[in-house]
Amino acid sequence: MRWRSFSRPMLSGIIAFIGTLLVTFIISYRVYVVGKRSELFLVREQAITIKEKIQNSLKYSVSSTRLLAFLVEKDLVASDFESLAGQILAENHSIDALQLVEGGVIVKTFPLAGNEAAIGLNLMDELHHRRAAEKAKARNSLFFEGPFALKQGGMGLVGRLPVYRQGKFWGFSAVVIQLENWIENLQLVQDSSRELYSIQLAKINDDGSETYFSFSGNEIPTNGLFQKTYIEEGDWNLYVSLNRPKHLQEAGLFFIFGLIFSGLLGGFVYQKTAEPIKLKRLVSDKTKDLEVLNHKLENRAKELSRSNQELEQFAYIASHDLQEPLRMISSFLTLLEKRYAPKLDDRARKYIYYAVDGSHRMRQIILGLLEFSRVGKNEGTRENVDLNKVVEEVRLVFGNRIKNLDASVQVSTLPVVQGYYLPLIQVFQNLVGNALKYHSKGRRPEIQLTAAEEGAFWKISIKDNGIGIGPENFDRIFDIFIRVQRKEEYEGTGIGLATVKKTIERWGGRVGVESQVGVGSIFYFTIPKSAG
C-alpha cells in the first residue's frame, strides 16, 4: 500500500532526478579528472620550458669552454687568450668571466679587473671544489658547481670542462656566471604567469640532500600539483608548482549546476509524465551531446599540445642547434682573417668572404623558416584594419628603396577589413617588396595597388611592370623555398610568397598571380569583408 501511495508522476520525477544526478556526478568526476590532468600537463610543459631555457643559457658556456680548450690544445693561450676571451664575453652576455685552470690552479682569468682574488686559487685545497672538478673530469663534459660564494665576491656558478693536451690531462677551461645576473637574464616566468607558478632550483648534495635557491616563492613546492625535473649539467632538481589549481573548483561548480539541473528535470518529468518517451530521448540526447563535447575538447587539447610541441622543437633547433654552428664558423673565419691578415692573398680573402656570406645567407633562411612556422600564432586581436594605413606603413619601410629606384607607387582607395594588423603589414610588405626587387633594369618601376569587391570578399591587387613570370611557375612560386630567378641576380630565400599564401588561406582567402614575361605581373589576394 505504501508503494502504491506514490503517484506515477512522483515516481517518474524521483527516478529522473536520481538518474540525472548520477550522470552529473559521473561527468563532474570526469571534469575533475580531466581538469587535474590538464593542469598537470601545463605544469609539466612549464617545467620542460624552464629546463630548456636553463640548458639553452648554458649552451653558450659549452661553446665558450670548447674554444678555450682549443687554445690550450694548440698552445695558443699566450697569444690569443685575451682577444678570444674578450670576443666571447662581448657576444655572450650571460657569461661574466672566463678562466683557465692548469692542474688544479687558476692561472688565467678574463677580465682580470675584479677577479684578481681568483688567480692562484688551488681547487684541490677545498673539498667541494675538488669533488666538482672530479665530477667534470669523470664525465668528460662541462659540469657546473654551485651556487657558492665566489672569491671575487657574490654568489655564482662555475662551469668546468676538462682539457687534454697531447693525450694527457692538462686542467680545465671554465666559465663564471654571477647567480643574480643569471636569474635575471633567464626571465623564467612571464608577467602574466608570474602568480601561477612557483619555481625552485635545488642542488643535489653528495649525501642525497638538497640545497635550493629561489627563483620565485620561498619554499620548495612539494605539495599540490608540481613537477620535478633533473638537470644533469649541474646535478640540479628543478621544481615547478601550480599555485592555485582550479580543477576541484570547476568540478564542484559543475556538480552544483548539475544538481540544480537534476531538480528542475525531476519537476519537469513530474509534470510531463504523460510524455515519457520524449523525455527519455531528450535526456539521452543531452548526455550524448555532453560526451561528444567532452570528446571534442580532449581531441582539441591533444592537437594543440602536439602543435605547440612541434613549434617549440622547431624554434629550439632553428634558434640554437642550427644557428650556433653558423656563428662559430663566422667567428673562427673572422678570427682567422684578423690573425693572419698579412699572410693572406686576395684569393684567400675572397674565399673567406664567400664562406662568411654563405653562413649569413643560411642564417636568413633559418630565420625565414622560423617566421613561416609562426604564421597564425600570436596574431593579436581581430579588429577593423584600414588597408590605406597599412600601405602607408609599408611605403615608409621601403622609402629609401623607392627613392633610389625613382619608383612610382600609386594607391587607389583601399577598404577597411576585419583582420589582424601586423600580419597584413607582412603580406603587403612581401608583395610590394617583390615588386620593387624584380623590376626591369631598363625602365622606371611602376606599382599600382587597387581593390575590388568579389561577393563576400575584397580582392586586393598589386600590379607592376617588372620582369614578369612564366605561366609554368604561377603555382610553384607560392611553394616554400621555390625561387624562379637566379640567386646571383636577386637575393632572397623563397619563403616570402609561401608566408603570404599561408596567412591569407588561414583567413579563408586565396592568392594568385597573372603575369607576362618582360611585361609585368599582377599579384592578388582575397580577404573576407567581415569576420565570418
- Provide the pLDDT for residue 483: 64
Q: Helix (H, G, I), strand (E, B), or coil: what is residue 230? A: strand
Cα–Cα distance between 315 and 309 in angstroms, integer?
Answer: 10
Which helix H or strand E contains 105, and what residues bound it?
Answer: strand 105-110
- Provide the pLDDT for residue 214: 64
At 275, phi and psi to the nearest 5?
-120, 55
- Provide the pLDDT for residue 192: 47
Nearest to 223 by CA among 194, 198, 255, 201: 198
Strands 408-411 and 446-454: parallel
- Cα dihedral 30, 36, 37, 42, rounded to 10, equals 140
Nearest to 242 by CA among 38, 467, 454: 38
- Provide the pLDDT for residue 513: 92
Listed in sequence order, the residues at least 6 apart from 279 whose beta carbon sits closer than 8 Å to its beta carbon are 16, 268, 269, 272
Cα–Cα distance between 216 and 324 in angstroms, integer?
Answer: 30
Contact 60, 93 (CB under 8 A): no
Q: How far is CA 250 from the centre of its chain?
A: 30
β-pair partners for 462: 449, 523
pTM flag (> 0.95): no
At 69, phi and psi to the nearest 5?
-60, -35
Alpha helices by DSSP H, 74-178: 77-91, 127-139
DSSP assigned state of 38: H
Which helix H or strand E contains 332, and what residues bound it?
Answer: helix 323-339
DSSP assigned state of 205: P
At 150, phi and psi to the nearest 5?
-80, 150
- Provide the pLDDT for residue 531: 54
Residue with cell 599561408: 502
- 10-residue mean pLDDT profile of the chain (532 residues): values are 56 82 86 86 88 85 87 83 87 86 90 85 87 90 87 86 90 89 72 68 84 64 76 88 81 85 79 62 79 83 71 58 67 75 76 67 57 55 87 90 91 90 87 89 91 92 91 81 60 75 87 91 90 51
Cα–Cα distance between 113 and 90 in angstroms, integer?
Answer: 16
